[in-house]
């Protein structure tokens, strides 16, 4: 009895191998995407090995070297490549440690919202009816709240914390996954292999897990990649407003906000941290666009 179900299931191994080949081909053709992927790799390495790379403790204050400019400018204090901030903390080291927070929030919040969103999307698309209607109305309500507003409120209520930021962003980000995956499942559910699986007595749960889930992975991966960038920007926005991660933790958004106070005398604090955010999200967006073109060549935009 298991045989027909096996035939209908695409072998995951060959599928992933051909996907990787397609990504490699797309990368070879696309010079910009190569650079983006390299930047992304660099940010990830810096994020993971930050403490080994950073020249200084990111919170160590050196009050004799306050607001020192970057290495090429007159008045630079040796050892502080990108200068120091108003408390004499090393800007480069803070950016390196900030990468960890940005990546952690970006990836964790994306995973959380991806899981929630795809479960809702698959269930809503598969069962349709009232369940679908409730979830889609919930999506409307969610969209009626600008995310940042909800995040602000929750952070004020629960207090600043890295984990609350991840949870809020994770729980508010499900809508885009749910909508795309739902519409995908709506068309998948009438495919022959789903009918076949039902005919041999697979339960709804089995059908959703074995037959629908593998087939929505491609759009899921594309949205997730792009979502990491939005999550990083959202975290940076909250930290910029001073309402995200506790202010003692070095974050890119927090540095930008600190630096704005000294914009007339020490532009490097906010500019370097801003460039860090911009390069990271730009690299993620370019990579995500490339992945989308691989996953769905027709959707070229």
Partner 1 sequence: MFVARRTGQAIVVLFCVATVAFLVVRMAGDPVKAMLPENATVEQEQALRHLLGLDRPLVDQYGSYLWGLLHLDFGRSLFFHQPALDIILDRLPATVQLSVAALVFALVVSIPAGIISAVRRGKATDSSVMGVVLVGQSTPAFFVGIVLILVFSVELKWLPASGMGGFSHLILPAITLGLYSMAMIARLLRSSLIDVLGEDHIRTARAKGFSPTRVILTNGLRNASLPVVTIVGLEIGNLLGGAILTETVFSWPGVGRLTVEAVTNRDYPLMQATVLFLAVVFVVVNLIVDILYAFLDPRVRLS
Q: Which residues bind partner 1 (CB under 8 A)?
A: 137, 140-141, 143-150, 152-154, 156-157, 229, 233, 236-237, 240-243, 253, 256-257, 259-260, 263-264, 267, 270-271, 274, 277-278, 281-282, 284-286, 300-301
Q: How far is CA 74 from CA 69, 78, 223, in A?
A: 7, 11, 45
Identity of the residue, 117 or 288, whose beta carbon is nearer to partner 1 in the bound complex: 288
In the bound complex, what is the minimum distance in angstroms from residue 288's beta carbon to partner 1? 10
DSSP bridge partners of 90: 84
Helix (H) or strand (E) holding 244: none
Judged by beta carbon, residue 15 or residue 171, the one nearer partner 1 is 171
Of 139 and 207, nearer to partner 1 (C-beta) is 139
CA distance 94 to 24: 34
Closest distance between partner 1 and the C-beta of residue 7, in Å? 36
Q: Please report how close the Cβ of residue 249 comes to partner 1 at its closest, in angstroms.
A: 18
| Residue number, 154 or 194, with CB nearest to partner 1 | 154
Q: How far is the CB of 128 from partner 1 (least distance, A)?
A: 16
* C-beta closer to partner 1: residue 172 or 215: 172
Token output for 1: 């009895």
3-state secondary structure of 84: strand
Alpha-carbon span 186 to 203, nearest angstrom: 18
* Angle formed by the axes of helices 217-240 and 267-295, nearest 10°: 170
Q: Residue 25 is encoded by which pair of tokens?
A: 């081909």
We find the least distance from the C-beta atom of residue 274 to partner 1, in angstroms, to be 4
Rounded to whole angstroms, the Cα distance separating 102 from 98 reads 6
Q: Which is nearer to partner 1, 128 or 213 (CB)?
A: 128
Three-class SS of residue 66? coil
CB of 46 to partner 1, least distance (A): 18
């Amino acid at each position: 009895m298991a045989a027909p179900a096996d035939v209908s299931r695409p072998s995951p191994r060959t599928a992933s191998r051909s996907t990787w080949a397609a990504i490699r081909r797309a990368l070879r053709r696309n010079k910009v995407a190569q650079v983006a992927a390299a930047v992304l790799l660099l940010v990830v390495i810096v994020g993971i090995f930050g403490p080994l790379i950073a020249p200084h403790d990111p919170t160590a204050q050196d009050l004799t070297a306050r607001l020192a400019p970057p290495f090429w400018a007159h008045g630079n204090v040796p050892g502080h490549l990108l200068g120091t901030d108003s408390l004499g903390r090393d800007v480069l080291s803070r950016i390196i440690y900030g990468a960890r927070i940005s990546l952690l929030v970006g990836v964790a919040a994306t995973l959380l919202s991806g899981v929630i969103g795809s479960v809702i999307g698959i269930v809503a698309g598969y069962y349709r009816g009232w369940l679908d209607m409730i979830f889609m109305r919930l999506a409307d309500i969610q969209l009626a709240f600008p995310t940042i507003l909800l995040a602000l409120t929750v952070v004020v209520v629960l207090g600043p914390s890295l984990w609350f930021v991840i949870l809020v962003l994770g729980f508010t980000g499900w809508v885009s996954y749910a909508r795309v995956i739902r519409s995908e499942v709506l068309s998948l559910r009438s495919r022959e292999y789903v009918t076949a699986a039902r005919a041999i007595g697979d339960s709804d749960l089995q059908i959703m897990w074995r037959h629908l889930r593998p087939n929505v992975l491609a759009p899921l991966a594309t949205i997730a990649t792009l979502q990491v960038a939005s999550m990083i920007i959202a975290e940076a926005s909250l930290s910029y407003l001073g309402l995200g991660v506790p202010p003692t933790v070095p974050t890119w958004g927090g540095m930008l906000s600190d630096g704005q106070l000294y914009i007339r005398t020490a532009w490097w604090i906010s500019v370097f941290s801003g460039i860090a955010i911009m390069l990271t999200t730009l690299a993620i967006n370019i990579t995500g666009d490339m992945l989308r073109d691989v996953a769905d060549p027709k959707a070229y935009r």
